Structure 1
Amino acid sequence: MRRTYGAIRFVAAAGIVVAIVGQLVYSLSLLEVNTSAFLWNFFSFFTVLSNCLAAVVLVFGAWYCFRMPADPPWFNLAHTSVVTYMVTTGIVYNLLLRNISLDQGTTLGWSNEILHVWAPLYLLADWLFAAGRSALLWRRLWVVVLFPVAWAIYTMIRGGILDWYPYPFLNPAQPAGYIGVVLHVLLITVVILAIAAGLFALSRVRALQPPD
């Protein structure tokens, strides 16, 4: 059974990579601005970065499914973190961004659905049902927010320099200004922590192994 999960993880990782590359190639075909600037912008989207991380985690997870009877502790924490980012991506996109296209190119429909809907759903299902997961320690919960916080700081600094923000709710030019930005960031942080806390709790209820 664990090998079956491993094979599915490989396929899912490939699907995510195809979706990322598909959107990238399609946007490049419509490009009328500097290519290097576009690529930097493209890989500044939280959606793209979280899906890249998801593909990497799925490949590692698949490898462990074929090589080990259970996932190592570091992978369990990384897996949970990435699942949190992907679920957050799905929630934020479907609540705030579904009708907004990428500003540097037309959104590719099938790729958009994979990256914002199907990949988050799969990552969550994989985390819930794949064998080999162990319990997570509550004192490691803070690790989950490191990447989102670093991304937010990077985005605001870069946005202030280049006057470019990947998402409208991060742009201080919005009607509510910086207060709106802060409120959105705080809300998303709460969502991330809530999702992560739920996953940590579930890991301790349905763990294959005791906390490491």
Structure 2
Amino acid sequence: MARRTSIDIIWPFVRIATTGLVVAAVVAQLVRTVERALVAETAHAGHLPTVITNFLSYFTIQSNIAAAVVLAIAAFWAWGRGRDADAEPHGLAIALVCVSTYMIVTGIVYNTLLRGVALDQGVTVPWSNEVLHVVVPVILLIDVLVAPRRRAVRWSAVGIVAVYPIAWAVYTLIRAPFIVAPATGNPYWYPYPFLDPHLVTGGYLGVAGYIAGIAIAIVGVGFLVVAAGRWRAGPLAAPPAAAADDDDEVMNG
């Protein structure tokens, strides 16, 4: 049984508090979004199913919700089976690698590509926007660096990290031309301007360039997150067979 330190005691509370912060931020922004739809003067702007689906289609929202769920599971695991464990279960370690990568990339993309994009101030809840794009990404970065009971995972985990962003990009580009944009009435809707071929220089070719760049960033950050976990785990790194056995514990507390 591993000796418990102050970080072992504190960190589950940090994780569960982050979950609560994400829930509050997402709900606050969703309420604002629905409120604007309810007072909209046009049919497309007030179509709640489309408005809510669009809201849930943002990578930022999805990655924050995923992070909140995984952090909550990690916290409850630490308070339960994790009290006597030397390292987190393999499945939980993979999930943490994924959400950490997505949130760090969310912070990078927002602050490099989207920070200066002008928006109607009534669209966003300022504090929620900062929580989802800055505060939580920073917390997940710190989690990678200091969270206790870190388990090393195989380098192949980087490939697992890439699955969801690819699926999200495909979903977004296929869906976009069939959705009327609530804010403008355009016969298409893209969650981010760098994915909109009507705005990006070069059209779909330009969009492909942005997607390639973000894909490289995701793989690169995923590689660094896995590397950090392997470095921090040291002798606690599980051999392949043991790692496979730990999959049974993934989400069981």
TM-score (norm 2): 0.80
Q: Percent identity at matched positions?
A: 39
Deviations 1:123-177 (Å, cap 9, x if unpaired)? 1101210101111101232000010000000000001222111001111112320
Aligned match of 1:210: 237
- What residue number does 1:169 align with? 194
Is the Cα contact below 8 Å between 1:136 and 1:200 reproduced in 2? yes
Q: How many residues align?
A: 212
RMSD across aligned positions (CA): 1.6
**Which segments of 5 or more consecutive residues in structure 2 lack a partner in the other structure?**
1-5, 41-45, 180-187, 244-253
Cα deviation, residue 64, structure 1: 1.2
> 5 Å matches for 1:1-212?
1=6, 2-31=8-37, 32=40, 33-67=46-80, 68=82, 69=85, 70-100=87-117, 106-162=123-179, 163-174=188-199, 175-207=201-233, 209-211=236-238, 212=243
Give the Cα–Cα distance (whole angstroms) in 1 for the partners of residues 119 and 140 of structure 2.
Answer: 24
Displacement after TM superposition at 1:102 (Å): 6.4
- Is the Cα–Cα contact under 8 Å of residues 144 and 196 in structure 1 kept in the other structure? yes
- Range moving further from structure 2, 41-50 or 59-68: 59-68
CA contact (8 A) 1:54 1:82 kept: yes
**1:3 Cα offset (Å):** 3.1
> Greater helix percent: which structure?
1
Q: Is contact 2:152-2:237 (8 Å) kept?
A: yes
Contact 2:33 2:51 in 1 (8 A): no
> After alignment, is 40-49 or 160-169 more displaced?
160-169
TM, length-normalised to structure 1: 0.95
What per-residue deviation string (whole Å, max 9, x for no partner) do you get for residues 175-211 of structure 1? 3201110000000000000001111112111116113
